[in-house]
Chain A
Amino acid sequence: MNTIINRHKRPSVTCFDAGSEYCPCALAALGECVACSLLRGEEACVCGWSGLCVYQEFLRNQAVPKPGRREVKASIGRRKDLVLPGDATPRAFVLELHLPDEIARWCGFPGSFVLVRPPGTRERFNVPVSVMDVRDGRVTLAVEVLGPKTRALAESSLEGAELLVVAPFWSGLHGFRDLQRYSAGNVLVIAKGMGQVAVPQLARHINHRGGSLKVLLGPGQLGVVFIEEMLKALPVDVEILPKEVDHNLGRVAQELAGTRYDLVVSAGPDIQHRALKGILDRLEDLTGERPGFTWMSNLTMTCAEGICGSCLVSGLRGCKAQVTLHDYLGEDLP
C-alpha cells in the first residue's frame, strides 16, 4: 500500500498564538489551523513550526480548543487628546487603561494589540488598538478617530469610565522572527503617523536585549508627531523627519547607506513597507548584506481570532499567521 504525501493545499506558517494559553484555538477543531497541516486534514506533517507541535497540544487537550480570550472590564485612567490646529475635534487620543495584571503583562510585547469597545455596544463596535506601552498594569493606547466605531469609542472614553477589552493579541508586527533574531543588534525604526504607537514597546524590547535603536519619526497622514516626549525617558536616538520629505524616503536610504543596521522596522502604511523593501533590495544588490525586516500590520482586524476573514492576505489569516513580506505585499517571489 502506497501513500503519496505532501500535496500541499495551503502553505503552513508560524502562528502568533501557537504555544500560548490560547492554542489550540477554534480553528484547530474546525480543520483550519494556520500552523498544522495534520489538523487541516492533510496526510503529511508539513508544519510552519512555531516551536511546538500544535497537533500534540490539540490531542493533549482532549481534541477540544482552549477557551480563548475573555472579555474584561477596564477602567480608564488618563486621557490625552491630539487636536490639530484648526480642528474642532481630536484627530486621535491617547488612553491609559487599567487591566488585570495577567492580561497587561501579556500586552507587553512589540506588536501587541487589544480590542476595545464602549459598554452597552455590541461586538461590532470592537476597535483593534495597538498597545503603545505597558507600565505597572496600566496599558497605554492611542486611537485615531476615523469612523463610527472610533467615534463611539472617543465619546465613551472618559477618564474614570470603563471599557470592554479583549486582549492580548500579538499580530501587530509581522517579520516577528527577524525582530527576535536581531533585537540585540543595531535597529532602525521608521515610524510615521499612527505607526508611532509601535515605537515605545519596540524601544523597551530592544533596550532590554542590549540592542541600540535609532528612530526616524514622521507625522504621516495623522499630521503630528506625538511620542517624542515618551521616548525621552528611553535610550533612543530620535530624529524627526520634516513632513515634506516624509514620502520620498531619501533620508532613510541615506541612513541605511551610511550605517550598518541589523534590523529595519517599518511602522507606517503599506506604501512605506513597499518602498523600504525596494531600498533594502538595492542595498543587498550593492553590498550583499540585507538587514532583517519587521513591519507593522495594516490588515483589517475584526475578530482577530481567525474566524471572520477580514485580515486575509495572500490566502492567509494575518491575525494569526506570521506571513512573509512577499505574501503580505501580495507579490510573487523573485
Chain B
Amino acid sequence: MKKYHQVIVVGGGWAGVSAAVAARKLGIDVAICERTDMLLGAGLVGGIMRNNGRFVAAEEAIAMGFGDLFALTDSIARHRNISFPGHNHANLYDVLVAEPLARSLLRERGVTVYFGKRITGLKAKDGTIAHVESEDGDRFSAHAFVDTTGSSGPPGMCLKFGNGCACCIQRCPSFGPRVSLTSLMGLPEYMSTRRKGTFGAMSGSCKIYKETLGSSIRGELDSSGVVVIPLPERLVNRKKLESKVCQQYALPEYAESIVLLDTGHAKLMAPYFPLEDLRSVPGLENARYADPLAGGKGNSVRLTAVSPRDDTMKVSGARNLFVGGERSGVCVGHTEAIVTGALAGRNAALLALGKGLTVIPPTLAIGDYVKQSGIGPDGKPSEDGAYGLSASYTFAGSVYFERMKSLGLYTPDPEEVKHRVRAAGMEGAFLQA
C-alpha cells in the first residue's frame, strides 16, 4: 500500500494526536501512523492535569487556539482543583475513558489514523524524508513528518537501564517497540541521565485496580481524589526517588508515604513497589497492579532517545522532520507532550504550505519551555545554567517550575494568562496559518 498525505505524524500518543489536530487547523491533509491498536500511548496511564505550572501551559494553549485536548481531559475530570503533596490546583481525569474520546476527536476533525503501522524504515536524501515505511511494507509519503514516537523502551533499554520489561502500557512485546525517525535517518539522539549520571529514567507511577483496595481507602479516593498513607520506616526507600523520570513527584513525601490519586485506577505515585511490601500496608492487602503489570518489579524506562532540535521543533540535520513530546527534549508529562506536539504539528503543516514557521515567544511559559527543554545539535541544552540532560523538564515541578516562578511566568489566574498571550501577539495564533 502506498499512501500520500501532506503531513504524516508517526506515533499516536498525546503528542501525536495534538500534532495532527494542530496541523488540521490549517486545513492540511494529515495522517497518524500508530504501531498499536490504541491512541494516547503512555498517556493512557496519565491522569494529572493543570497541576502547578501546567495550569499556565493549559490556559496559554487554550488562548493560542489549541486547547482541544485540555478541553477533552477537563470534560472527563473526576476531581477538579485538588491538592496533593507538592502540587496545587490539579485536575484528575479518568484515564479509562480518554482514548475513545481522542479517537472521535480525530475522526471529527478529519485526521486519518493508521493503526498497527509500526514505522521501521524510511527513505531520505539530504535530510529530506521522501517516505516512511511500516514493518509490513506499506509506504507513507508526505511533505513533512512529525516524529512523536516517544522515548521509552524498547525493552532492551528497560532491561539495560531499568529492571527489565515490566509489561507496561507500551505493550512492546505485542506490537513491537517504537522506532524513531531520527534514528532511522542516522541522526544522533541523546539519552537523559539521572542526577548521578546513570542513564534512563523510570516512569514515576503505577496504576492499581481500585477494586482491589480496602473499602475505606477506596471511599476516600472516590470522594477526595487523594489518599496519603504514611509508610513504616522499613518500607521507606528514598533512593527510588532518584530513578524517577517525573522529578516533580520526587519529593520526600513520595518516599515516606504512599500517595494514591484517583485517575479511574488508583495511581500510585512510585515507580514500583514490591507487591509483598505494598500488601503489608493496611488497606492494600489485596492490591493488584493494572500498569505496569509487573509494578512490583519495575517500570518503563524513558528518555532514552531525545532528538536535537530548534525552537520550531525541527530536528537538527533534517529538513522536513519535526519532533514533539518526549522525543523533543528532556520533557515529561502529557501537558508537555500536547504543547510540544501542537507546535511540531503546526510547523510541519506550515512547511507543507510553504509558509514561515512559528516560534512561540519566550514571554509565554510554553515558549520558554520549548527553548529550555530542547537540546541543540551538540547535545547541549539551549541555554547555559540549565540542568541539561540530567533534569527532566515539566511545568509541574522540579527545576522548570522553579524557573517559571523566578521569571514570573507562573500565575494561577487565567485572565492574567490570557492577557499575556494577547500581549505576545499569540491570541488564536494556532487557528490560522
Binding site for B on A (CB under 8 A): 1-8, 36-38, 44-49, 51-53, 55-56, 59, 177-178, 181, 284, 288-290, 292, 333-334
Contact = CB atoms under 8 A, between A and B. Distances in A.
Contacts of A59: 159
Contacts of A177: 135-136
B156 A45 contact: yes
Interface stretch (B73-81, B188-196, B282-290, B406-414): B188-196
8 tightest A-B CB contacts, nearest first:
A45-B156, A53-B155, A6-B183, A49-B176, A2-B379, A4-B188, A55-B156, A45-B154
Given A2-B379, A6-B189, A47-B177, A55 B304 contact: no
Contacts, number: 100
Contacts of B388: 2
Nearest to A4: B188
B231 interface: no
Contact of B155 (A45, A178, A290): A45
A175 B153 CA distance: 27
Interface of B: 1-2, 120, 123, 135-137, 153-157, 159-160, 164-165, 172-173, 176-177, 179-180, 182-183, 186, 188-191, 193, 197, 199, 304-305, 379-380, 388-390
B379 A4 contact: yes
B123 A333 contact: yes
A47 B176 CA distance: 9
Among A5, A36, A38, A292, the most chain B Cβ lie within 10 Å of the Cβ of A5
Contact of B157 (A2, A44, A52, A288): A44
Nearest to A52: B173
B316 to A, nearest CB: 12
Contacts of A3: 190-191, 193, 199
7 contacts: A1-B193, A2-B389, A6-B188, A8-B186, A49-B120, A49-B135, A290-B2
Contact of A56 (B136, B165, B191, B380): B165
Given A8-B186, A44-B304, A181-B136, 18 more contacts: A2-B380, A3-B191, A5-B183, A6-B188, A8-B183, A38-B156, A44-B305, A45-B154, A45-B155, A45-B157, A46-B154, A46-B183, A47-B156, A48-B120, A49-B154, A56-B155, A178-B136, A292-B137
Contact of A2 (B165, B190, B304): B190
B197 A1 contact: yes
A61 to B, nearest CB: 13
Contacts of A290: 1-2, 137
Nearest to B123: A333
A101 B189 CA distance: 49
A101 to B, nearest CB: 29
A86 to B, nearest CB: 45
Contacts of A289: 1
Nearest to B381: A2
Given A181-B136, A289-B1, A5 B305 contact: yes
B190 A49 contact: no
A224 B123 CA distance: 43
Contacts of A8: 183, 186
Contacts of B156: 36-38, 45, 47, 53, 55-56
Contacts of B1: 288-290
A24 to B, nearest CB: 13
A316 to B, nearest CB: 15
A51 to B, nearest CB: 7
